[in-house]
Protein backbone atom coordinates (compact mmCIF):
# COMPACT_ATOMS: atom_id res chain seq x y z
CA UNK A 1 0.00 0.00 0.00
CA UNK A 2 2.84 2.36 0.94
CA UNK A 3 4.65 1.59 -2.36
CA UNK A 4 1.46 2.25 -4.33
CA UNK A 5 0.98 5.62 -2.57
CA UNK A 6 4.60 6.55 -3.29
CA UNK A 7 4.24 5.64 -6.98
CA UNK A 8 0.96 7.52 -7.20
CA UNK A 9 2.41 10.69 -5.64
CA UNK A 10 5.46 10.45 -7.97
CA UNK A 11 3.12 10.19 -10.94
CA UNK A 12 1.15 13.24 -9.77
CA UNK A 13 4.36 15.27 -9.35
CA UNK A 14 5.57 14.18 -12.81
CA UNK A 15 2.24 15.04 -14.40
CA UNK A 16 2.26 18.46 -12.75
CA UNK A 17 5.82 19.10 -13.93
CA UNK A 18 4.93 18.08 -17.49
CA UNK A 19 1.85 20.30 -17.43
CA UNK A 20 3.99 23.28 -16.37
CA UNK A 21 6.79 22.54 -18.86
CA UNK A 22 5.26 24.39 -21.84
CA UNK A 23 4.66 27.49 -19.71
CA UNK A 24 8.20 27.34 -18.35
CA UNK A 25 9.65 26.79 -21.83
CA UNK A 26 7.92 29.90 -23.14
CA UNK A 27 9.43 32.07 -20.42
CA UNK A 28 12.92 30.57 -20.55
CA UNK A 29 15.30 32.53 -22.77
CA UNK A 30 18.67 31.11 -23.72
CA UNK A 31 21.48 32.56 -25.80
CA UNK A 32 24.83 31.46 -27.15
CA UNK A 33 28.12 33.32 -27.65
CA UNK A 34 30.91 32.04 -29.89
CA UNK A 35 34.07 33.03 -28.02
CA UNK A 36 36.33 32.14 -30.95
CA UNK A 37 34.48 34.59 -33.20
CA UNK A 38 34.76 37.31 -30.57
CA UNK A 39 38.51 36.71 -30.25
CA UNK A 40 38.82 36.83 -34.03
CA UNK A 41 36.33 39.55 -35.06
CA UNK A 42 36.04 42.09 -32.25
CA UNK A 43 38.03 45.30 -32.77
CA UNK A 44 39.51 44.94 -29.29
CA UNK A 45 40.87 41.49 -30.21
CA UNK A 46 42.23 42.74 -33.54
CA UNK A 47 43.99 45.61 -31.76
CA UNK A 48 45.51 43.19 -29.27
CA UNK A 49 46.78 41.03 -32.14
CA UNK A 50 48.34 44.08 -33.81
CA UNK A 51 50.03 45.12 -30.55
CA UNK A 52 51.49 41.63 -30.18
CA UNK A 53 52.75 41.64 -33.76
CA UNK A 54 54.42 45.02 -33.27
CA UNK A 55 55.89 44.04 -29.93
CA UNK A 56 57.36 40.74 -31.14
CA UNK A 57 58.14 41.36 -34.82
CA UNK A 58 61.74 42.52 -34.19
CA UNK A 59 62.57 39.47 -32.06
CA UNK A 60 60.90 37.16 -34.56
CA UNK A 61 63.02 38.65 -37.35
CA UNK A 62 66.18 38.16 -35.26
CA UNK A 63 65.32 34.51 -34.67
CA UNK A 64 64.60 33.93 -38.37
CA UNK A 65 67.93 35.54 -39.25
CA UNK A 66 69.74 33.47 -36.64
CA UNK A 67 68.13 30.31 -38.04
CA UNK A 68 69.13 31.26 -41.59
CA UNK A 69 72.67 31.97 -40.43
CA UNK A 70 72.84 28.61 -38.68
CA UNK A 71 71.52 26.85 -41.81
CA UNK A 72 74.09 28.60 -44.01
CA UNK A 73 76.93 27.75 -41.62
CA UNK A 74 75.81 24.12 -41.52
CA UNK A 75 75.67 23.91 -45.32
CA UNK A 76 79.09 25.56 -45.58
CA UNK A 77 80.49 23.02 -43.10
CA UNK A 78 79.02 20.12 -45.11
CA UNK A 79 80.64 21.43 -48.29
CA UNK A 80 84.03 22.06 -46.66
CA UNK A 81 84.18 19.12 -44.22
CA UNK A 82 86.19 16.90 -46.54
CA UNK A 83 88.94 19.52 -46.95
CA UNK A 84 89.26 20.38 -43.23
CA UNK A 85 91.73 18.83 -40.85
CA UNK A 86 90.36 16.76 -37.99
CA UNK A 87 90.90 19.57 -35.46
CA UNK A 88 89.28 22.17 -37.74
CA UNK A 89 86.33 19.86 -38.36
CA UNK A 90 85.92 19.27 -34.60
CA UNK A 91 86.16 23.00 -33.86
CA UNK A 92 83.55 23.89 -36.52
CA UNK A 93 81.21 21.16 -35.25
CA UNK A 94 81.45 22.61 -31.75
CA UNK A 95 80.72 26.08 -33.09
CA UNK A 96 77.69 24.79 -34.97
CA UNK A 97 76.43 22.98 -31.88
CA UNK A 98 76.86 26.15 -29.81
CA UNK A 99 75.06 28.22 -32.45
CA UNK A 100 72.25 25.67 -32.51
CA UNK A 101 71.91 25.72 -28.70
CA UNK A 102 71.78 29.52 -28.74
CA UNK A 103 69.20 29.46 -31.54
CA UNK A 104 67.03 26.90 -29.70
CA UNK A 105 67.26 28.88 -26.44
CA UNK A 106 66.28 32.17 -28.08
CA UNK A 107 63.43 30.53 -30.01
CA UNK A 108 62.10 28.88 -26.84
CA UNK A 109 62.29 32.16 -24.89
CA UNK A 110 60.52 33.96 -27.73
CA UNK A 111 57.72 31.39 -27.84
CA UNK A 112 57.28 31.49 -24.06
CA UNK A 113 57.23 35.30 -23.96
CA UNK A 114 54.80 35.47 -26.88
CA UNK A 115 52.49 32.88 -25.29
CA UNK A 116 52.50 34.76 -21.97
CA UNK A 117 51.69 38.09 -23.61
CA UNK A 118 49.03 36.52 -25.81
CA UNK A 119 47.41 35.05 -22.71
CA UNK A 120 47.47 38.49 -21.03
CA UNK A 121 45.92 40.21 -24.03
CA UNK A 122 43.24 37.54 -24.54
CA UNK A 123 42.36 37.67 -20.85
CA UNK A 124 41.67 41.41 -21.20
CA UNK A 125 39.46 40.83 -24.24
CA UNK A 126 37.59 37.98 -22.56
CA UNK A 127 37.08 39.98 -19.37
CA UNK A 128 35.54 42.84 -21.34
CA UNK A 129 33.53 40.44 -23.54
CA UNK A 130 32.11 38.67 -20.48
CA UNK A 131 31.05 42.02 -19.05
CA UNK A 132 29.30 42.85 -22.32
CA UNK A 133 27.65 39.42 -22.41
CA UNK A 134 26.33 40.04 -18.92
CA UNK A 135 25.01 43.47 -19.94
CA UNK A 136 23.24 41.98 -22.97
CA UNK A 137 21.84 39.14 -20.87
CA UNK A 138 20.49 41.54 -18.25
CA UNK A 139 19.08 44.10 -20.70
CA UNK A 140 17.38 41.48 -22.88
CA UNK A 141 16.36 39.26 -19.95
CA UNK A 142 18.20 36.06 -20.85
CA UNK A 143 18.04 33.22 -18.34
CA UNK A 144 21.27 31.64 -19.54
CA UNK A 145 24.07 32.43 -22.01
CA UNK A 146 26.23 29.49 -23.11
CA UNK A 147 29.74 29.78 -24.50
CA UNK A 148 30.23 26.25 -25.78
CA UNK A 149 27.79 23.95 -27.50
CA UNK A 150 27.85 21.23 -30.11
CA UNK A 151 25.14 22.95 -32.13
CA UNK A 152 23.13 26.13 -31.70
CA UNK A 153 20.21 27.47 -33.66
CA UNK A 154 21.13 30.81 -35.24
CA UNK A 155 18.16 32.42 -33.51
CA UNK A 156 19.90 31.87 -30.15
CA UNK A 157 23.36 33.05 -31.27
CA UNK A 158 23.98 36.52 -29.83
CA UNK A 159 27.64 36.70 -30.85
CA UNK A 160 27.04 39.50 -33.36
CA UNK A 161 25.25 41.59 -30.69
CA UNK A 162 28.18 41.11 -28.32
CA UNK A 163 30.75 42.01 -31.00
CA UNK A 164 28.78 45.14 -31.96
CA UNK A 165 28.55 46.14 -28.28
CA UNK A 166 32.28 45.49 -27.79
CA UNK A 167 33.18 47.49 -30.88
CA UNK A 168 30.98 50.38 -29.75
CA UNK A 169 32.27 50.39 -26.18
CA UNK A 170 35.84 51.47 -26.91
Residue-level pLDDT at 148: 87
Topology annotation, domain 18-168: Protein Binding, DinI Protein; Chain A (3.30.910)
Go through 33-45 and write b for each residue having 16 or more CB atoms within 10 A of its CB, e for each that does not: bbbeebbeebebb
Q: Quick one: residue 141, left, alpha or beta (phi over 0 = left, psi -120 to 50 = alpha)?
A: left
Q: pLDDT tens digits for the chain (170 residues)? A: 544 444 444 444 444 444 555 555 568 999 999 999 999 999 999 999 999 999 999 999 999 999 999 999 999 999 999 999 999 999 999 999 999 999 999 999 999 999 999 999 999 999 999 999 999 999 999 999 999 889 999 999 999 999 999 998 64
Q: What is the domain partition of the chain in residue ranges? A: 18-168
Beta-carbon-side half-sphere exposure of residue 138 (alpha carbons within 13 Å): 6
Amino acid sequence: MKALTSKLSSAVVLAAALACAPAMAQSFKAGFVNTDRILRDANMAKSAQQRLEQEFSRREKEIVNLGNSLQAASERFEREAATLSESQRTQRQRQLMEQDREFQRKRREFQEDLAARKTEELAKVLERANAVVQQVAESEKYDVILQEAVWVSPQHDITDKVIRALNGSR
